[in-house]
Amino acid sequence: LNLNIFQENFIKFDNKSLISSFQFGFVFFIAVAATNLFHQGNWQRVYAAKSENILVKSLLISFFIIFLIVLFMGVTGTISKLNGLKFNEDLAFFSIILNQNDILISLIVLIFSLSLTISTVDTLLNSISSLAIVHGKDFFNFKYLKDKKLSNVVLILLSITCLIIALYQFSVLYLFLLADLLCCACVYVIFRGLYQKKIYPCRSIVLIMSGLCLGLLFFPSTDFSKSLLVGIIFNKSIFNEIFTNSLLFWSFLFATFSPMVLDIIYRRAN
């Protein structure tokens, strides 16, 4: 790889490209942070810690390790792009690592990729299973299908669905982004409620729905060229490039912070 090309092209980046890159990074920071706050597997790890001191140390160590991994993945994507490698955006890391067709490196990457996937799926299955066992009786009242049996049925159905999606090679990115949007709309209300002595269900629902609706107005279509507000209800040409080029950014931003702003306005008015 020619790192000189990387240095020359990085200097040529204009302000718009840099702004878009930072917006993109900020979008996924909000999305991943909000989604993982609702990840049952993460909370199980928190409550499984032996002591608060061990929990803090483990979280700090994990933070630095993950930061370095994500930084490395981002740099590989940038280097791949600037060296003219043809790749899909979500496969940039593999494009640069497997560029030389080295069998040993390919085998190592395959082993680590499988380990990461298996670890993630294991955490996800444990969290879904525990939720089905604990809260299943609140939604279903089957005589012969309770607790562990209900959990097994839910996991089998989800596994079949995932298998079908994988066989037909459907992209799950758009569904993932929709889930992120919902989590962004809920994150303020849910976690503020943890520190409130009294919870107001109606106000909470209104705040969540307002954030979700405002987010959906800017949420991009499947081709990411327009949204419900920008391009469908109103002509795209009347909006500034700041909005039209960063629909996902504004969607997550409004979904995350509009419930907070509306809640502050309501409390001051009363």
Which pLDDT does position 1 carry in this prediction? 45
> Chunked in runs of 10, what are the mean pLDDT values of the chain (270 residues)?
46 53 73 78 79 88 86 74 63 67 77 79 76 70 65 80 79 80 88 80 89 91 83 83 81 90 88
- The per-residue pLDDT for 123 is 75
Identify the pLDDT of residue 8. Answer: 46
For residue 35, which of 163, 244, 243, 183 has the smallest C-alpha distance? 183
Distance in angstroms (rounded) separating the CA atoms of residues 192 and 208: 12
Per-residue confidence (pLDDT) for residue 210, from 0 to 100: 93
Element (H, E) at 141: none
Give the global pTM: 0.69
List Cβ neighbours of 52 (8 Å cut-off, separation of 6 or more): none
Question: CB 127: neighbour CB atoms within 10 A?
Answer: 17
Residue 5: predicted pLDDT? 45
The neighbour count for residue 40, using CB atoms within 10 Å, is 16
Residues 6+ apart with CB under 8 A from 82: 5, 6, 9, 10
DSSP state of 89: G
- For residues 150 and 140, the answer to whether their CB atoms sit within 8 Å is yes
Q: Which helix (H) or strand (E) holds 252?
A: helix 247-269
Distance (Å, whole) CA 248 – CA 245:
9
Measured between its terminal Cα atoms, the distance across the chain in Å is: 62
pLDDT score at 147: 64
